[in-house]
Amino acid sequence: MKASIIGMGWVTPLGRDLDAVWQAIQDERQPIPVSQSSSFGASLCPVLRVPDEDLVEAEALPRLRRSSRISHLAVTAASDAIASAGLTADQLARTALVFATSDGGIAYTRRFYAEVVKSDSGSPLLFPETVYNAPTSHIAARLGLGGEAITLAGDAASGLAAVRLGGALLTTGEVDHCLIVSAQEMDEITCLAYRNLGLIRAEIGEESPAVYFAEGAAALVLARNGSPLIESPHPGFSYTSEAHAARQMERLLDSILASRRPRVVISGQSGISPDAIEQASLHRLLPDAVLHTPKKTLGESMANSALQHVIAGALALRDHKSGGEVLVPAVGFNGQIAALILTGSVSEE
């Protein structure tokens, strides 16, 4: 699969400006964490939140006034990506959409089922926002997209799977562009679950290699021609244990890197146990590569993190004005491994 990136949108705890966020990643500068409240008697969970002022445009849209925060995040990133690509209404009518998520609109889902448990009925205003397709629907309606609208749910690797699927949709000839979006919202349920799984930092200021849980969104506009070029030379692997994951990562990177040596890697390392799997393979195959670790700045955002890493890879290529290659691997917490290669260069415009 090959496709080019012609537009990008990024909604992060450090704002929406691509250059500013990319510089913060290079400096490993962190936003200030806040505490996520809990109604279950559990201790507070530290999280990284997107500034409310970055979402006011989406929140003011009539369609989105009662929608969940994940939809506000997703529509904002998607709108920014479409604006940067400069697509017209006619082009949007021939644009497909792939949305990737790890846990969907969990906040409204929790509220809806809390009402069901309490009164045997749930609010019809909340129910539409409980489905995984809700952000997909809002994005397509807001932007007037006329192509297929698809939702993928999975671990971090689903962010890269969405890019691969977008490239496949372009090859059909039925659309001219594909919008790839991912978003992550906050809720006490996800905070508690991911903390219990050891995927995120449990306390503010604690001595822990793990990163903070974070909300945010990312979006790419893909086309058949342009630069940088995304190559997905392998669909990735599944794994059933950490030992199996290590073998699968070796197989995947051996295949992708058989005839190439990227100068830059956008690493998914976040201080959790699967990181060792990626580290060992990269140390063997690309010992001299420049390593960027966006999660140390932007936190853990599951599928959204993987798509954020593709944006970081494109910006890294822009810094190398002569072009080059960037590797973007992803080891998901739920049994998936994937990787992409970005080649070419990004203009300064």
Whole-number Å distance between alpha carbons of 303 and 2: 21
- β-bridge partners, 292: 266
pLDDT at 60: 94
2-223 and 229-343, same CATH topology:
yes
Whole-number Å distance between alpha carbons of 21 and 5: 18
Q: Single out the residue of 171, 175, 103 nearest to residue 134, CA to CA.
A: 103
Which residue ranges make up each domain of the chain? 2-223, 229-343
Q: Would you identify the CATH topology of the domain 2-223?
A: Peroxisomal Thiolase; Chain A, domain 1 (3.40.47)
Say how many C-beta atoms besides its own lie within 10 A of residue 65's C-beta: 9
Query: pLDDT, tens digit, for every residue of 202-249?
Result: 888 777 788 999 999 999 999 999 888 999 888 899 999 888 988 999
Whole-number Å distance between alpha carbons of 250 and 141: 42
CA distances from 179 to 72, 144, 167 (A): 16, 12, 10
Backbone angles phi, psi at 60, to 5 degrees: -80, -10
Q: Return the amino acid letter for 1.
A: M
Identify the architecture of domain 229-343 in CATH.
3-Layer(aba) Sandwich (3.40)
Whole-number Å distance between alpha carbons of 349 and 219: 18
Low-confidence ranges of the chain (pLDDT < 50): 347-349
Element (H, E) at 153: strand 149-153
pTM score above 0.85: yes
pLDDT at 166: 96
pLDDT at 242: 85
Helix, strand, coil percentages (3-state) for the chain, rounded to 5, are 40, 20, 40
pLDDT at 348: 45
pLDDT at 87: 97
pLDDT at 349: 43
